[in-house]
Chain A
Amino acid sequence: MSKRIRYGDFISTVSVQQQRLSYNQLTPQPQYDAQGQEVPYQQTKLKLHPREIGRMVKPYVESRLMEQVKTVLPLVLYLLLFQWLILRQDIMTPWLITAGIAAVLLGLMLFIEGLQRGLMPFGEELGSTLPRKLRLPGVLSVAFLLGIGVTLAEPAIGALKTAGSLVSQAKAPLLYALLNQWSGVLVAIVGVGVGLAAVIATLRFVRGWNMKPLIYLTVTPVLGLSLYMHTDPLLRAVLGLAWDSGAVTTGPVTVPLVLALGVGVAAATSKKNEPSGFGIVTLASIFPILGVLLLGLFVAFVHPDSLQAVSTVSTHYAPEPSTRDQFQEAIVMGLRAIVPLIIFLFIVMKLVLHRDLPNPKVLTYGLIVAVLGMIIFNIGLTFGLSELGGQTGSSIPKVLQNGSVGGYLLILVFAWLLGFGATLAEPALHAMGMTVENLTQGAFKRYGLIYAVSFGVAFGIMLGVMKLLFHLPLIYFILPGYAVALTLTFFAHEEYVNIAWDSAGVTTGPVTVPLVLALGLGLGGEVGALDGFGILALASIGPIISVLSVGLWISWQVRRSHDKHEQEVAMHQEHTQGA
């Protein structure tokens, strides 16, 4: 038995004029050639009015630009306000900085777009076809080479090199040597570290290894080596650089590309059904530290002559590079960062896999845009963000002169807020938050992760600034920090361990790293510190501890609610039995 009633009771008022047009008039009639065979229809290119082109391009550019504006602008505003309101100081070369920041926005926009259109599909295609065409050793060697390639492409790695400019050769000869005549080797070593990390992480995907033992096995030797090197005043100077390079490597190029490869490989080979993709970032943060520490040892013991050799040369070195030189260098760095990576991917695709490029036109567009974006970003970084960060950093110590305790407090609060804001805006973190929420079935909320990580980074950066201000050795912070992190790791669930250690690497992205480094260097230069390193390293420990703590708290709560439930059930049973 069914009733028939109306779905709604609305009177419609038609506001837009409709014009009826038969679709038959638009579609083509079949064409026949002389033999009476049907000729396949060829689509013609559309001719568009310029206004229509504008209406198409506008939303495309707007949505992508706004994404970057949301990330970068709050930070810039914060720095400006701080400089105006608290330091009461005008910005030097304001127009250059404005142009630089605009270039950073434009560059980031282009680069991310290029990454999504060009590099990522490339990586995914490789990841899914590799295991089908090659055996495991082949896959691992490609992963290794890709790890090296992406490190060179990382925009933040350049920032590390510029960070070396402050280091004086007399105070820290080994650090100076590493950052100058050994800088090529340094970057290569970091790349090898990331490559090895990619290999082990891929193996982990395939074999289903747990993260905990891997963490113990890798972190403990690095800590031990750091402790040993701390005892030697010559070697001690390298610690900051080494721990910072670990944080720097895992940026916007490395993470998605290596992840795309790893997930592709895992999906094709592993027996487990859900490839989580975690762990690769952690390893890619730890291995470079070990590499740089070992390089330091190597230079100190095998090539001690290179420490002296510089001293004669470096005295003649012109201290300030001209604007034009900086400009050229930014362009060259942008090219060098991506072009070799593209060539490598291309060679693997063509010669090893014998595959054609998927969607070559879009891919080419993506790659060109990525290179362009990288160049513009580099230029903007040099003249905009780094400059602004450096200015703020170098004028902060003036606060110290008027008030003693208040000044120090002000600086620490400033550092804390900067870290919190910068991390909150980091796009990679938001993406990770969503993954984590899915992975933990909603137990770990997205904003829970974002706030936990931001808190951790904020405290890390604050501690890093404290280290610079009071000339404390880095090991005093790193050793207890990692001891706490390792202890928490021991008690935490495997999934939270994965999330926590990876979140450390993800947070230090293309905006945070140069800004914090510039700030650290500016500050370090003013207070006469040996180097501005160490802030990033500490910013990486913070989130590990905070996320692990939140994870432990969540599992404790879950357990407590289970216990409570069981108790109630038990009581209920007793009650019914008694009655």
Chain B
Amino acid sequence: MSREIVVLTDVKLITCIVQRGEADKVVKAAQAAGAQGATIYYARGIGIQDRLGVLGITVNAEKEVVKMIVSSDQADRIFERVYLEAGLDIPGHGFMHMTTLEKAATYVPHDVVEKLSQAAEES
């Protein structure tokens, strides 16, 4: 039996950069909107502190980068939820962006694949 790769299309990548300790909050909001999971890593950000002057002290230079792969239908909704939850409309609270991915692959439950491909054949 040959192994086959199920390739997912219509995939978007949402990346959100927030201050250290805020990532879990962001992921929770995204999951509530249908995101399956997230990858978080630590980083250091430079730029906004200098421009804020004295208020720069309220911004932590240590960041967390949250990467979430979502379906294109969900993407806008999750994008908004995350924006609001992370409070990105506050100066220095972070930055986010979304890109289209060409394709992605991971574990997809066997029965789901069967069902969807059958539906595709019938139509």
Instruction: Give the interface size bracket for A toward B.
Output: 20 to 34
Q: A14-B76, A56-B92 are in contact. Are A46 and B57 (CB under 8 A)?
A: no
Residues of A within 8 A of B10 (CB): 6-7
The stretch among A47-55, A264-272, A463-471, A514-522 that forms the contact with chain B is A47-55
* A389 to B: closest C-beta gap in Å: 33
A12 touches B120 (CB 8 A): no
A95 interfacial contact with B, CB 8 Å: no
Q: A424–B12 Cα gap in the complex (Å)?
A: 45
Which residue of chain B lies nearest to A5 when distances are taken between CB atoms in the complex? B116
Q: Which of B5, B52, B55, B120 touches A2 (beta carbons < 8 Å)?
A: B5
Residues of A within 8 A of B91 (CB): 46, 48, 52, 56
Q: Which of B4, B34, B93 touches A10 (beta carbons < 8 Å)?
A: B34
B70 interfacial contact with A, CB 8 Å: yes
B72 touches A7 (CB 8 A): yes
How does the 8 Å CB contact mask read for B72-97 relative to A, with 1 for contact and 0 for none? Answer: 11111100100110010011110000
* B81 to A: closest C-beta gap in Å: 9
Residues of A within 8 A of B57 (CB): 60, 117, 362, 365
In A1-47, the 8 Å CB interface with B consists of 1-16, 43-46
Q: A14–B33 Cα gap in the complex (Å)?
A: 12
A57 interfacial contact with B, CB 8 Å: yes
* B60 to A: closest C-beta gap in Å: 9
Q: A5–B113 Cα gap in the complex (Å)?
A: 8
B6 interfacial contact with A, CB 8 Å: yes
* A37 to B: closest C-beta gap in Å: 24
Q: A2-B6, A3-B6 are in contact. Are A57 and B55 (CB under 8 A)?
A: yes
B51 touches A9 (CB 8 A): no
Q: A59–B57 Cα gap in the complex (Å)?
A: 12
Residues of B within 8 A of A12 (CB): 73-77
* B19 to A: closest C-beta gap in Å: 9
Enumerate 25 A-B pairs (CB-CB under 8 Å) in ascending A order. A3-B4, A3-B6, A4-B7, A5-B108, A7-B8, A7-B9, A7-B10, A7-B72, A8-B34, A10-B73, A11-B73, A12-B77, A13-B77, A16-B83, A44-B51, A45-B52, A45-B53, A46-B51, A46-B53, A46-B91, A48-B52, A52-B90, A52-B91, A55-B90, A59-B87
A residues near B, CB below 8 A?
1-16, 43-46, 48, 52-53, 55-57, 59-60, 117, 362, 365
